[in-house]
Amino acid sequence: MDNRITLLLNILNEVTRRYEELFYIKEKILQESEYKATHDLLTDLYNKEAFKKKVTSIIKKDTKFMLVFLDLDNFKNVNDVYGHDMGDKILMEVSRILKETLKGKDIVSRFGGDEFVFALLECNKECAKILLEKIKSKINTDLKDYEIGASIGGASFPYEADNLDELLAIADKKMYISKNKGKNQITL
């Protein structure tokens, strides 16, 4: 009788161990899937949809922030002359610069192509100007061999707009003002 109980206990332990193993694998797959659904896999930044969701929740909390639109100048030329692999490396380098320069609480995304959008939390125009000058300078220095610059525009919540779509439109318009002023400019 004791042998059967021991055998049953061993089987039960093995089933429990395998169940826990499968549960761990399932949780890991779910986490990886969620990450892939919310992040740009090249730059490791939030993707457009995840960014919009996060910023919308900040707007609901009525937290003041600057929304910034950054577009790389002369990026198409890099892809045309050096190839898309080099273009990808430049996008990863810009991502690194943004992560290192911005605070951990700021929300940073690759919006598409060579466009980056980020929310500078608890940051007014003066604070934003300092951070953006630092980012622009670092891009100019680190990517000078490729003549990459950054045209940047920003909009302030809630002073210039009270919803995300308007903020994005204003920041985008100001970014184009920067491009039209000769590129590699900041317009807040």
Supply the residues annotated as catalytic.
114
User: Which tokens sit at 67?
Assistant: 């929304």
Is the sign of the CA dihedral 113, 100, 175, 146 positive or negative?
Answer: negative
Residue 145, judged by CB atoms within 10 A of its CB (0-12, 13-18, 19+), counts as exposed
The answer to whether the beta carbons of residues 94 and 73 sit under 8 Å apart is no
Cα-Cα-Cα-Cα torsion 80, 168, 152, 116, nearest 10 degrees, comes to: -50
- Residue 93: phi and psi, rounded to 5, are -65, -40
d(CA 99, CA 9): 52
d(CA 186, CA 26): 46
